[in-house]
Structure 1
Amino acid sequence: MRVIRILPNLPVADVSAAKGFYTDFLGLSAEAFNLGWVARYTSPDPDVAVQLVSGDATAPEDSVISVQVDDVDGAYVEAQRLGYEIVHPLTTEPWGVRRFFVRAPDGNVINVAAHRT
């Protein structure tokens, strides 16, 4: 598995209400996507981005970061082999992401994902 990108997932009460701070004040002008409960805002530099999350639509817990990988199926098998707790099983979500949530030994929940090609 190769990590392609890591994005912070900031918990917010309301994505729409929080948007102004991140876009107007911080200048993250491009809304990469917005599903209502999660939205990604970026700058012209694609390495600068943040995701605002008000509550995951399908997982039992929210994650602190999203890690995009080149082989999510392989990452899932490896996480299981290493005995890590799977918080949300490997799932192809309706919005085009294949992902699972794993709990790191420190307790943080990590969203490991790949976009469908």
Structure 2
Amino acid sequence: MRAMKITTNIPVPDIEQARPFWSDFLGLRDEEFNLGWVARFTDPDSGAHVQLVTGDRTSPADSQLSVHVDDVDAAYAEALAAGYEIVHPLTTEEWGVRRFLVRSPDGTVVNLVAHRS
């Protein structure tokens, strides 16, 4: 398993109210997606990005980071073998990703995710 990209997940009460700061002020103008409860804003030139999250739709806990991996099934097997706490099991979500959430030893909840081909 290899990490391809890491995205910071920022908890916000309302994505539309938070949008002007991230999009206008910080220049993260490209809205890559918006599912109502999670949206990613990206700088079109540098690729710098954040995800704003009001609350995870299917997981019992929100994640602080999303780590995009090349093989999420292998990552899940490694996490289980290492004995890490699985917060949300390996799931193919209706919005087009396969993912699971795991708690690191320091308590950080990490969303490991791969987009379906």
| TM-score (structure 1 length as normaliser) | 0.98
Quick one: percent identity of the two aligned structures? 63
Matched with 1:115 is 115
Matched with 2:61 is 61
Say how many residue pairs are matched.
117
- Write the mapping of 1:1-117 to structure 2, written as runs, cut at 5 A: 1-45=1-45, 47-117=47-117
Give how far 1:44 is off.
1.3
Q: What CA RMSD, in Å, does the superposition of the two structures yield over aligned residues?
A: 0.8
| TM-score (structure 2 length as normaliser) | 0.98
Amino acid of the structure 2 residue aligned with 1:28: L
Q: Secondary structure at the match of 1:114?
A: strand
Q: Secondary structure at the match of 2:60?
A: coil
In structure 2, runs of 5+ residues without a counterpart are none
Q: Secondary structure at the match of 1:78?
A: helix
In structure 1, runs of 5+ residues without a counterpart are none
User: Partners in 1 of 2:8 and 2:110 — Cα distance?
Assistant: 10
Moved beyond 2 Å, runs of 4+: none
